[in-house]
Structure 1
Amino acid sequence: MAMFETDPVRPEAYREFERPLPEWFRGAALGIFVHWGPYSVPAWAEPTGELGAVPREQWYAHNPYAEWYANTIRIEGSPAHAHQQEVHGGAPYDDFLDQWKAEAFDADEVLAVVAATGAGYFIPTTKHHDGVTLWDAPGTDGRNTVARGPQQDLIGAFAEATRAAGLRFGVYYSGGLDWHFSDLPPIEHDGDPAPDDLAYAEYAHDHVIDLIDRYRPDILWGDIRWPDAGIAPGPKSLAHAFETFYARVPEGVVNDRWGESHWDFRTSEYVHGTAVEVGEAWENTRGIGLSFGHNRNETSEHLLSADEAVRLLVDVVSRGGNLLLNIGLEASGRIPELQRQTLEGLGEWNSRHGHAVFGARPEERLQASDDPWLRWTRTDDAVHAVIDQNGSVRLPDPDGLLDEQTARIGDTGVSAERVDGAILVDVADAATPVAISFRPLA
């Protein structure tokens, strides 16, 4: 599959979908992801570490992703299995669907927090690997949030609120896994079986077409892969779904997790798959914590602080990518307080310094640094140094690319002088991280 492969190859039948990456996506810098489902009721996982940092032989039985709960509780001997027995009496997973009421859900309130971050797009999960759909998807026989649990079209509510807030709307869909439809054993190792049959491929195809027809998403964000039986072109193939998507949404984009088919941009996840982070058509995604779904076990030590989120965003943009940062909503529909604090802090920083990230490109002629922490970006009329220090700051500029007399923080000029191939800037009173902008000489 293209997911995480360094040099994937498009099959001939999918080359017709190649196109330039739309500028709206390239310059968005930040998107907000939401994982929400029946797994938000138990909201339980071991906070073991980031994807890519936990040994693969330990990952599945000690999965930090709460949204994988339906799989992890079926692994004998796993802590999640023990937790399900002890706390929930070994109840069937679908009991959580009926217990999930979303009683405090207000899509406009969620999107107000999202929009305040400066994000350009918003993507909720429409069907995760547990197979529960957050709209009345065809063929689900009532196993969806309209018939059960919240008894709402949650995707419709998100779509309306997203566009009212002025953001682009995307949809996440798990094409590679559906533990309910396929009824396969739990995944315990990389390479364990996933649904590849024609029945599932056509079922998933009908879901994606329905999402396109109802909500006209700007982004199709697939996950894991696509069933092999649905790859070859045909009336219910992935190729047909892409044809439908681009006909309805000509400026739409798709990611690279649709099996061996097509993508407009590559994706990495936490610190896994980072080899794809090259050029200007990639996106790094992660939760504010170690999980995408809400996890009661996560504390502040597991979550990005606002400053850490700022540094991550700036780092990603300085290398040419977008950041897709995830919220794990509580079952009630509320944003967990610690996650809200991170989002609000990120938004506050972007309100002052967002000119250094939104619509920005890498400035590759100037050298980034981790000690002291320094990243460079460029917009049409300025070069921006984002630093995590104050006092007298030394910004290396050995080739004299910047006009030190134009140094400013926001609209306020700051004292700067050129000394020995560098610019010394006085930012003694600035809160960090801080973006210092210059007019370029070259």
Structure 2
Amino acid sequence: MNDFPQSGRPVPAWFTDAKFGIFVHWGAYSVSAWAEPTGELGVVDPDVWFKHNPYAEWYWNTIRIEGSPAQEHHRTTHGGRPYDEFLDEWKAELFDPADWVELFARAGARYVVPTTKHHDGIALWDAPGTGIRNTVHRGPRRDLIADLAAAVRARDLRFGVYYSGGIDWYAGRRDPVLHEDRMDEGRPHEAAYAAYAHRQVIDLIDRHSPDVLWNDMGWPRAGQADLPELFSYYYATVPEGVVNDRWDNAHADYLTSEYEADRANEWGACWENTRGIGFSFGYNQTEGPEHLLDPADAVRLLVDVVSRGGNLLLNVGPKADGTLPQEQRAVLEGMASWMACHSEAVHATRPLESGSADPHDGDPWVRWTRDERHIYAFVADVPDEAGGRVALKTRPGLLDPDTAERLDGDTVKAEAGPEGIHITSAGLDTPLPTAIRFATR
């Protein structure tokens, strides 16, 4: 375990060793499945973001913004009908949780975190206080969280829960959020909503003992005084559980970043970057290949995050029928093929000590990880004219060239040079990284 100053408690080794998790955003918004693919959070101008929100799971908010393209789309395509009609049309008739989880596991994920209630307030279980406005009584007519939890744990993965504590457009009715500077105007802070949210999180803990308690958008001010008791109850129930940082600075076992936002959090002692395969978390039918990661992009993202000491929580957005979009499956299948021989260079590794070896962007692309017995160099995009030869800049004496071997079994030659280690091997010109293992001295 590693001491983490944000909460003052050790972060369980399972979480720091996991490196890769799968986020699942699935809801009534998967029926509309529409957003403008404007760009990544943290890159799009904040003055543009909400009116042209690329997050399909924010559809109910975006269609309430006057003059937004989503509002026009909702009027012309759906006749401006009430958002809750999407709940009844969401059938999940092809949902096969075991199929999902088998793919997640082969892709290298060690934990899975589904949305149990997003900002639209629709619960994916029979949540207390929701009446029939949940997936047990309407739409899919099943406890989607229980079904997924069972499949995840049957595959020996860790199971977490996402809960939108700070925003609920139904139980905590507010005008639409128009700008990040006015985000707090869209958040319910009254005691009644605080009690409602508190009761639902306790119910999730009691039902599922989740390994990750992943809150979003803060917590109502009227309920802040109750959070210490909630966290104590959670840790008593799940001693190896972890809590994220989105509780309005009340508590955190680890910090989070999202796409390009909050990147300063990536230098904490324990952190997690999250993003979708495209620009949206919820399934967005308007996204094309130009908006999506390809398998090499996803692998490089994972390797980069791990090389800097973080975890990657990569999101999938299922369709309303319960199938994973083929484009998203293809990314995970590509990761699975790569992980089949490279996982040891990812799971249970740590970054190299500062100054030991240099990462590099461009041609070539290089990242580093290590475990107790080995150091791993990830290499991609070696220029054709280099003839498969690349110099890995390292501290003198760090690596023994005689121990170099490729994890995929292909041949590699290594020799000491003035700047570190020179390696020669075929196939290093591709964007998909190749891991080369060295025994530590």
Q: Same fold (TM over 0.5)?
A: yes
Q: Distance in 1 between matches of 2:269 and 2:422?
A: 31
Identity of aligned residues (%): 55
Structure 2 match to 1:321 = 310
Q: Distance in 1 between matches of 2:268 and 2:368?
A: 16
Asked if 2 retains the 8 angstrom alpha-carbon contact of 1:48 and 1:54, the reply is: yes
Structure 2 match to 1:147 = 137
Report the Cα offset of residue 424 of structure 1.
1.6
Report the Cα offset of residue 422 of structure 1.
2.6
Report the Cα offset of residue 398 of structure 1.
4.1
Q: Distance in 2 between matches of 1:23 and 1:251?
A: 9
Question: 1:80 and 2:70 equivalent?
Answer: yes
Question: Residue type matched to 1:291 in 2?
Answer: S
Structure 2 match to 1:367 = 358
Query: Match for 1:389 among 378, 381, 389?
Result: 381
Question: 1:268 and 2:261 equivalent?
Answer: no
Report the Cα offset of residue 290 of structure 1.
0.3
SS of structure 1 residue aligned to 2:401: strand
Structure 1 match to 2:416 = 418
Q: Distance in 1 between matches of 2:270 and 2:435?
A: 24
Report the Cα offset of residue 279 of structure 1.
3.8
Q: Distance in 1 between matches of 2:422 and 2:295?
A: 27
Q: Distance in 2 between matches of 1:300 and 1:158?
A: 28
Question: 1:406 and 2:403 equivalent?
Answer: yes
After superposition, residues 20-419 of structure 1 pair within 5 angstroms as 20-190=10-180, 191-192=182-183, 193=185, 194-232=187-225, 237-363=226-352, 364=354, 365-371=356-362, 372-390=364-382, 391-410=388-407, 412=409, 414-419=412-417
Q: Distance in 1 between matches of 2:101 and 2:290?
A: 26
Q: Distance in 2 between matches of 1:283 and 1:429?
A: 31
Q: Distance in 1 between matches of 2:64 and 2:268?
A: 40
Question: Residue type matched to 2:425 in 1?
Answer: V
SS of structure 2 residue aligned to 1:405: helix
For residues 324-356 of structure 1, what are the alpha-carbon distances to aligned partners after superposition, in whole Å with 9 as ceiling and x for unaligned?
A: 000000001101000000011011111111111
CA 1:360–1:344: 2 relative to 1, 3 Å: same
Report the Cα offset of residue 18 of structure 1.
2.9
Gap regions ≥5 residues in structure 2 = 383-387
SS of structure 2 residue aligned to 1:231: helix
Q: Distance in 1 between matches of 2:8 and 2:237?
A: 16
SS of structure 2 residue aligned to 1:226: coil
Q: Distance in 2 between matches of 1:61 and 1:400?
A: 55
- Aligned residue-pair number: 423
CA 1:239–1:138: 2 relative to 1, 3 Å: same
Gap regions ≥5 residues in structure 1 = 1-8, 11-16
Q: Distance in 1 between matches of 2:335 and 2:124?
A: 28
Structure 1's consecutive aligned runs of 4 or more residues displaced over 4 angstroms after TM superposition are none
Asked if 2 retains the 8 angstrom alpha-carbon contact of 1:74 and 1:81, the reply is: yes
Asked if 2 retains the 8 angstrom alpha-carbon contact of 1:26 and 1:280, the reply is: no
